[in-house]
Structure 1
Amino acid sequence: MTTTAGNTKAYADSSGSFKRRGPRFTDRIVASPSGPGEWPVEPGRYRLCVSLACPWAHRSVIVRRLMGLEDVLSMGITDPLQDDRSWRFTLDEGGVDPVLGIRYLEEAYLARDPEDGTENGVSVPAIVDIPTGQLVTNDYPQITIDLGKEWAAHQRPGAPVLYPDELRDEIDEVNAGVFHDVNNGVYKAGFATSQARYEEAYTALFARLDELDERLENRRYLVGDHITEADVRLFTTLARFDAVYHGHFKCNRQKLSEFGALWAYARDLYQTPGFGDTVDPDHFKRHYYMVHTTINPTQIVPLGPEQAAWLTPHHREELGGSPFGPEGTPPEPLEHPLKPLGPIDM
């Protein structure tokens, strides 16, 4: 079975185990380019293309907002529903991205590599060079780190430091476990094609969630005293857990809302500017339930759960720490809402 699983083309091997192909284009946009594969940071030159449905792309939406890069890095939002050419700009007038002038993100991939540009799938997030229309990078782990560090000259005053040098090793260690068992773990459970492989993924997922729940009992954030790259990466999976992964991917030992510290932690982040205001359940429920027809052939989209629970008190401030650091400040409220969707049309 081959599928498009969020950020890249994926498949199940002969044992029934889900396998994710990594990003193919790993160039970077950096403050001081020094060699091949490095592009210069330039305000207005690039466009960040995302799906609000995709947890891997959602990371970049959060970091762009936390850093206050809206005026220097424009953002295009794709339809949560895909066709055989993958992500498309049907939410824009005429079905064309107003900045890039393309209907499908695939066009930027093929502009970069006409022969093999889509070999590993068409994934989001993707950063496109506006003047040439070519894809620069779809390296989703590196994109958020670079937005937090390399774009420092253009960040808003009071932006948090998401990947501080003194905490980098600990952040990397936490991120590695979260990626394998949680971020990718829900996919390994949901797309497994054998009972044994599903049970392996399920067991590893909840073992890791139990570990994180315990870790967060006496500390407000995963690493250090304010939000870091580690919190961004975990949050986007937690934001989709009860609405999608619990039922759709059979990750149903318990809901996120049935954890103690982990659920309070998730609500704390959700109520932090830059996190909850970038969450769009309509986009991600439509994507998972309507695109993954091997799992949900009826394409019926569930109405729940209610988002109001995310706004209940969490009391995490009692643990100390501050979301943006001792001198940091929250981003300004969003001036324009994220792209709404109309009624579900089957």
Structure 2
Amino acid sequence: MSGGEGNTEYGRKKFTRSPSHFTDRITADGRDGWPVEEGRYRLVVSRACPWASRAVISRRLLGLENAVSLAIADPVQDDRSWRFTLDPGDRDPVLGIRFLHEAYDRRATGYPGGVSVPAVVDVPSGALVTNDYRQITLDLATVWSAHHREGAPELYPEALRAEMDEVMEDVHRDVNNGVYRAGFATAQADYEEACAGVFDRLERLAERLERQRYLMGDTITEADIRLFTTLVRFDPVYHGHFKCNRWKLTENPVLWAYVRDLFQTPGFGDTVDFDHIKRHYYMVHTGINPTRVVPMGPDLSAWLTPHHREQLGGRPFGDGTPPGPVPPGEEVPEAGRPRPS
């Protein structure tokens, strides 16, 4: 994949994630030509993609809905890239384009790595600004601070950054990317190495989370967002589709309680569309699932059951407050939400 969800280099024995090609940053001083400016940029995502979902969650927790608009692509791409077939006329209503590649083409020609999400597009020019999925969320948490809502949490606290960066790198290598290395492996040894790495890291994370509510202590940070977007997809797609099946998430008491705690926190579960997730993975990855049949399970109702993680204490938003209701038009459709049993 080119950074986030897009094209994947898996036609060889070892899966390789190509780096993001467009790494310009939107900054207060506009040093890359892109100044922070309310209403100027549009965040293009797929709710199926874990890398894009990080940006969706960050944007909502920080209250940036009015500052940076949101475009949601169809979870099933075709060979012309991510499509805006969820919108009237099959066009994004703000950018006026049918396919995300049109914004990429306005930025450059012959770019490597394909078309990926998340992508930030400059609305006036219609050109891509960045597809650097790692930096996008960090910048939302820092350089966009003047546009954060009152009570927004501190997702990348300066005092914790050194330790956070180490934790997030371990999670990225072994979990976020590890499930892909296992799922797209074409050699037994490569698969076993990746799969073992996934579960070794998950067990270490469970040990860490057994004694504290969140990865960095008492409050939610960017590290939790990055782990959540993989864990929420684990049983629906990674366990079966990617063959990460040593155990299900529901069979690990600590991680299952932790991910439900986050899911039930405003800003997390209200951005998750299980229908989009399942249809994307099972219908797009035809090298793994050539029939494109989407499984019926698992039962989603357990996501809403008590987690009891509050017994560990903690303040999810630190000195801040939860975000308000999901803005109109950004709600997850009923088909993608768990319902009480």
- Range into which the TM-score falls when normalised by the shorter chain: over 0.9
Alignment of 1:88 onto 2:83: yes
Corresponding residue of 2:92: 97
8 Å contact kept, 1:217–1:261: yes
Q: Does 1:54 align with 2:49?
A: yes
Change over 3 Å in CA distance of 1:282–1:145 after alignment to 2: same
Query: Where does residue 151 of structure 1 map in the other structure?
Result: 144
Letter in 2 for 1:116: G
- Counterpart of 2:29 (choices 22, 27, 32) is 32
The answer to whether the Cα contact below 8 Å between 1:283 and 1:341 also exists between their aligned partners in 2 is no
Structure 1 or 2: more strand by fraction: 1
Identify which of 220, 239, 254 aligns with 2:213: 220
> TM-score, length-normalised on structure 2?
0.95
Deviations 1:35-92 (A, max 9, x none): 3x25111011000000000000000000000000111110000000111011010111
In structure 2, what is the equivalent of residue 63 of structure 1?
58
Distance of 1:246 and 1:55 partners within structure 2 = 15
Supply the AA of the counterpart residue of 1:78: A
Alpha-carbon contact 1:8-1:22 (below 8 Å) kept: no
Question: For the residues of structure 2 that align with 1:5 and 1:189, how far apart are their CA atoms?
Answer: 17
**How big is the shift at 1:193?**
0.6
Amino acid at match of 1:120: G
Q: CA 1:277–1:293 in 2, change beyond 3 Å: closer, same or farther?
A: same
Alpha-carbon distance in structure 2 between the residues aligned to 1:103 and 1:39:
24
Shift of 1:311: 1.1
Equivalent residue number for residue 314 of structure 1: 307
1:134 aligns with 2:143: no
1:177-196 equivalent positions in 2, closer than 5 A:
177-196=170-189
Whether the aligned pair in 2 keeps the contact of 1:79 and 1:88 (CA below 8 Å) is: yes
AA partner of residue 9 (structure 2): Y
Aligned AA (1:18)? F
Q: TM-score, normalised by structure 1?
A: 0.94
Which structure 2 residues correspond to residues 146-295 of structure 1 after superposition, within 5 A? 146-295=139-288
| Count of residues paired in the alignment | 335
Check the 8 A contact 1:9/1:20 in 2, yes or no: no
Aligned to 1:108: 103
Report runs of 4+ in structure 1 exceeding 4 Å deviation: 3-6
Unaligned runs of 5+ in 2: 337-341
Identity of aligned residues (%): 64
Conserved 8 A contact 1:269-1:276: yes
Superposed CA RMSD in Å reads 1.6
Partners of 1:13 and 1:19 within 8 A in 2: no
SS where residue 9 of structure 2 aligns?
strand
Question: Structure 2 CA distance, aligned partners of 1:251 and 1:277?
Answer: 26
Residue 125 of structure 1 is matched in structure 2 by: 118
